[in-house]
Structure 1
Amino acid sequence: MTDTAVEKTLAVLEALADHSRITDIARVTGLPKSTVHRLLQAMVDRGFAAVRSDGGYLAGPKVLVMAGKVLRPVDTVERARPALRALREESLCTVHLAMLVGDELVYVDKVEADKPYRMPSRLGMGLSVHCSAIGKAVLASLAPAEFDALVARVTLTGRTPKTITTEDRLRAEVAEARRVGYGFDDEENEIGIRCVGAAIRDHTGAVVGGISASTLAMEHTMDQLAALGPRVLLAAGAVSTALGYVDA
């Protein structure tokens, strides 16, 4: 498909948001009606458009599926934000929300603590599951077969001298996270930063990510961070509830 053909297709798809008739779409795009008809038919064949009972056209199921995938993170952030803010106030830590994308986590929201410094994390940043508090909590929440498959796929890269780089040690830490409900990052992703995290689930019960409370190592010992674990777990439960999860 040439650049011109792509532009015409996108113009028709954009016009379809407000117009259903070929005549109207041709008028707003400046394209011949025959071209509009041909492009719409191709979209129908691919699921990007559908024919209405009156002969007009509307966006097809593929468009709705794609829109849902794009909007889902935004909706999740909005639903999770109250619990994140409450956890920030209770813990006095910077709170993160990360979503599972493939085999890694991606930060989608961050509520900074009222501190004279800022955490180096940023939205859109990827996070490895083996060296992050959220990652260990997510691994601990997976079914055994899912956990084994994910561990087999990931590379246990050493990001700092404290990063877990052996499968046996990772399995031991995940087992502990499974026992208590939350995981830890003791300067394993970045020197000087400690975190405690818990997994979140959506309305289907699937593990979709997690939240964490992050602090400087000089401000919290691991024992002090562990004391925050139950609060993080409760906050994660609140986020899961906001996403429609019902604990059976």
Structure 2
Amino acid sequence: MAGEAPQSAADKTLSVLEALADHTRIADIAATSGLPKATVHRILQTLVRHGFARTDGTGRYTGGPRILSLAGRFLQRLDIAEQVRPILRELQERSGWTVHLALLSGDEAVYVAKLEAALPYHLASRVGMSLGLHCTSIGKAILATLPDDEVRGIAARTGLAARTERTITDADALLAELATVRERGYAEDHEENEPGVRAVGAAVFDHTGEVLGALSAAALFPVTSENPELPRLVTDAAAEVSRALGKS
């Protein structure tokens, strides 16, 4: 149609993936996606190499194991968030702050739940958003459970980018901060990720005792007043979430 922007490579790949859910033959996938057969064949070969599709050698294609793996991981995140939502809700109500739950994903964490506080503003965070480990209370709570050499490896890979003028951007300084986090059992974010936003976070663990992620309570200052009970509320909630996930 005139005026429509040309499809990007990502658009074409997604079109083939969607068609692959209902069709197995290149001709049918091409008809559904609106792409030439040669383009479809090329994309399918790429998907096969990366495990997102597979072929039986007779010209038929189906979804590959990596699709199921990714779907399972996303569903697990959603299941965990729903399983512990009453605990998060109680923390939100008792603290009066916005509560987040994020799960570790590689060298970052991803929000899987957010419960807004009844305040005259909303924080910019959202479910599905990734966050840095070095500049957030959730991230520092997670890092504090890891050996120093592993933290240094993450720091080297991510670069410890400055999000605000308060962000810790030096690996030695970060390790010193994490030592404090381990000692007191919770992490703090004093406008290190977003100007004006402060947060308290604590790690959560799965049934094997491995760190799974962390939860936090966050608020905008100076609009919100200090809450001296917040560290205890957050650490108690994190411990309850861990127990709900099977940690003894």
- Matched to 2:235, the amino acid is L
Distance 1:195 1:120, change over 3 A: same
SS of structure 1 residue aligned to 2:84: helix
Q: Deviations over 1:13-60 (max 9, x none)?
A: 999999xxxxxxxxxxx9xxxxxxxxxxx9999986899xxxxxx987
Displacement of 1:63 in angstroms is: 5.0
Structure-1 residue corresponding to 2:237: 235
After superposition, residues 36-47 of structure 1 pair within 5 angstroms as none
Identity of aligned residues (%): 47
Query: Aligned partners of 1:75, 1:238: CA distance in 2, in Å?
Result: 16
Displacement of 1:247 in angstroms is: 4.1
Query: Aligned partners of 2:125, 2:48: CA distance in 1, in Å?
Result: 43
Query: Is the 1:187–1:217 contact (alpha carbons within 8 Å) kept by the matching residues of 2?
Result: no
- Matched to 2:105, the amino acid is V
Query: Aligned partners of 1:144, 1:209: CA distance in 2, in Å?
Result: 18
After superposition, residues 1-248 of structure 1 pair within 5 angstroms as 62-153=66-157, 154-160=159-165, 162-218=166-222, 219-221=224-226, 224=227, 227-242=229-244, 244=245, 246-247=246-247
Distance 1:44 1:139, change over 3 A: closer
Unaligned regions of 5+ residues in structure 2, if any?
A: 1-13, 23-30, 32-44, 57-61
Query: Aligned partners of 1:216, 1:115: CA distance in 2, in Å?
Result: 10
Displacement of 1:166 in angstroms is: 2.2
Q: Which has the larger radius of gyration?
A: 1
Query: Aligned partners of 2:103, 2:185: CA distance in 1, in Å?
Result: 18
Structure-2 residue corresponding to 1:55: none
- Give the CA RMSD over aligned residues: 4.0
* Structure with a larger share of its residues in helix: 1
Give the TM-score of the pair, scaled to structure 2: 0.71
Residue-pair matches, total: 231
Structure-1 residue corresponding to 2:35: none
Give the TM-score of the pair, scaled to structure 1: 0.71
Query: Aligned partners of 1:127, 1:134: CA distance in 2, in Å?
Result: 9
Distance 1:46 1:132, change over 3 A: closer
SS of structure 2 residue aligned to 1:142: coil
Query: Is the 1:158–1:165 contact (alpha carbons within 8 Å) kept by the matching residues of 2?
Result: no
